[in-house]
Structure 1
């Protein structure tokens, strides 16, 4: 081995853990050289064993929590066709306003929630906000007018704001860049599954005469709220904050988990850095973060529009079916969506690419909305819903993974993911006004808006991909050693994605 500082660090720690040349998180060593190349070597079999263990102990809990997060958000669509509007005397745009109130608080609290998640620790923060939105969902069963319903929907947005970015940030503490997209998909797939399972659950609940003293649509919120509360209490026990505190990992596995993550972060000497404003801003202002966040905004117009209005759309296609049957007709498209939500990130894991797959997620959706605009045939329009759900939901995993892969520090990652999800929910707010009562039953404005959004994602994703490749070629001409000369270790780490050895990861 050579006598460089990086090589000495590698040698110093190679004896601690077989197959890993650095366990440097606690000891202040970087896991990359000055040019951003890994100086650690891993035992692939040990990595595979660790990955399986992480999948078993982490993913199921966050997936179940996100399933009921999305159910508690979207079950108002099921309640709507079960009589909510009539019982609360909602008229005109009242239903759209109810949906908007949720997104106002959701957007406002998005980035603060992810900063709080880093400060408090996701092992406590995620269960706490899950308990909060479970209680609020339960309370929705007892509202009697628009004002009360708006109040609980606002609180629901406050608590749910931290879920999607919080879980994405949490998983980035444990998984490599290529692995992360598929693990994100394992919980984001719960969004289409919530559509399928939520429809089945709602139809089953509505088949009951009563739950306690509650009847009709109110039973949906009671049952689903109680389930969420139960899961959140369990998650206080099952969620581990970070590798160092995982009682179910051996010390060698903890060292390996830390070293794996560090090996992809140029100039990083600790996985969990101290939070500071400069790094938070770096995460937000990364060009890839900004472009990806805008794409997620456009994508989420279609995702949330489908979630909130799928039961309404199905009702316009099959107006003569019973309420229970209309609920059941919403299930099959979501099952197809669930398949693609796993398949596309799995392909991303294999290729270690995200941008091109975001681009490829748009054509089927464009065809689906074109069908909605081009025909009123019930069978064709119901078939189009399968195309819509085919790849819409996968962009959630792909975009969060993309912004995570294109910053360096843990702090920048928390703000980048927070901005991405915040912008996505600006799209959700737009979606609440995309299907207006007077535009039914064909909803040409709503479907036209979604078609335009998907076409823009296609164009923007292609432009971003070309820019990333161009800028990487430009960075190849920079001399990292000369640019970093005279800088302290802290100053070098603070560069984040501006580090001369950093390369965009398409």
Structure 2
């Protein structure tokens, strides 16, 4: 199901705090006056937040919980019971990302054509079933196969929801919502440790080991929530029943007419409501996506390395399994709070790259502390270094995705571009799955050094993107646009000389 084409003659200025008169806007042949202050706009956005964000966060919390709980299961005896080696465990982590990356683009295009309230719950049922079945595997081959199919079924969720948010919120207000949604991942990290601590006490119940119950119960929870999700997920602003007719028109106008600089000239950004393969090709050929992938790797290599191995890293500092599970909780909770606060400030200041650079610097500092203190008999300092790194990882990630999304114009190009960005970016998970080898315990020097190296490469990519956007914007300021007609400017999308990149 695609969003209908709307004829909007004059975009309404937003975000200024001054009253907005949009009386020239025409919708279905009728003149609809709108006068909205910043406070009234905030009221509409809060109304959307209440109806949209909680369910999306719940979906991602469950997805990240199901993806990463194998790290908790590992220290509860998974390797011994399945007679697996450390190398085989790493392969089970790795293969997930091959299918996860391969299926993200087609899933995002399907989301645009189908109703999100049907497609996303369908994905949930599928991965919940796979997760439940992981609790009954009997050997390495069974676990490997289950992880392959988990990648297939989870593939569409994150890029789909990241794109879905762009259909509802304007660019200068999007990162805060992306952070609210993504903070579910850090909550999942804390929740995973707490759940694993409790579920592991079921060891022997029904003849199953505690680690099996981690998979079974968390998989069944996902399936249960999936049956509620269709009633809680809204499809598009055009069909939102919780908004009044005037509010719907204002939201559509606000999203469709946005520019990368916050003013409301149309900037040549088309809204492609009918699918054409050209939009996918445009995304595949766009240089900024591939530079952004390196930025993505600089954040998600540490993200996946930590999510899969944090319990093991803490346990190898000399703590018991139960204590290690519990010590992950304050790290993730703090990261969640900082992610939301950082995103709010980023939206408030209408900046992206400076905040991403700050949080990526925290990641680098954290791993430097870990490398400098590992093996020196100071487990508390190592724990602090990991703490600092995680507090940088989770705020940096939503900024990275939001920054690219606001610089891609057109619904289908944005959907394809985000899928490519997240898909290729998540190959970092395949790499990070092999950074922390059992034989490197307890210092894991190689793993920490590789994470630091990817983070530095990501910082360089952020600087390249920022400088490039600034240069292109300056060049477009000096361009003569009289040679283009309006249709040509609209067709050029973010390549239009009227379009300005946000940095």
TM-score clears 0.5? yes
Report if the CA contact (8 A) 2:168-2:251 is conserved. Answer: yes
Q: Secondary structure at the match of 1:393?
A: helix
Note the C-alpha offset of 1:43. Answer: 3.6
Which of 365, 371, 393 is the aligned partner of 1:373? 371
TM-score, length of structure 1 as denominator length: 0.90
Report if the CA contact (8 A) 2:126-2:153 is conserved. Answer: yes
Distance 1:269 1:337 in 2: 35
Match status 1:153 vs 2:147: yes
User: Corresponding residue for 2:125?
Assistant: 131
User: Corresponding residue for 1:93?
Assistant: 87
Which of 171, 175, 178 is the aligned partner of 1:184? 178
User: Corresponding residue for 2:362?
Assistant: 364
Q: Which runs of 5+ in 1 are unaligned?
A: 1-7, 13-17, 30-39
Match status 1:498 vs 2:495: yes
Report if the CA contact (8 A) 1:210-1:219 is conserved. Answer: no
Matches within 5 A, 1:89-488: 89-209=83-203, 214-264=208-258, 266=266, 273-318=273-318, 321-375=319-373, 376=375, 377-480=378-481, 482-485=482-485
Q: CA RMSD in A?
A: 2.5
Q: Which runs of 5+ in 2 are unaligned?
A: 1-7, 13-19, 260-265
TM-score, length of structure 2 as denominator length: 0.90
Note the C-alpha offset of 1:280. Answer: 2.0
Distance 1:378 1:55 in 2: 41
Which of 77, 80, 83 is the aligned partner of 1:83? 77
Which of 62, 65, 79 is the aligned partner of 1:68? 62
Q: Secondary structure at the match of 1:438?
A: helix
Distance 2:498 2:28 in 1: 24
Residue deviations 1:455-489, cap 9 Å, x none?
Answer: 12222212221221111111101122x2313x6x3
Report if the CA contact (8 A) 2:11-2:25 is conserved. Answer: no
Distance 1:157 1:493 in 2: 37
Distance 1:11 1:367 in 2: 44
Assess, with a 3 A threshold, how the Cα gap between structure 1 residues 455 and 69 changes in structure 2: closer, same or farther. same
Assess, with a 3 A threshold, how the Cα gap between structure 1 residues 152 and 473 changes in structure 2: closer, same or farther. same
Report if the CA contact (8 A) 1:141-1:219 is conserved. Answer: yes
Residue deviations 1:254-293, cap 9 Å, x none?
Answer: 1111011012153679856111122222234333322222
Report if the CA contact (8 A) 2:204-2:210 is conserved. Answer: yes
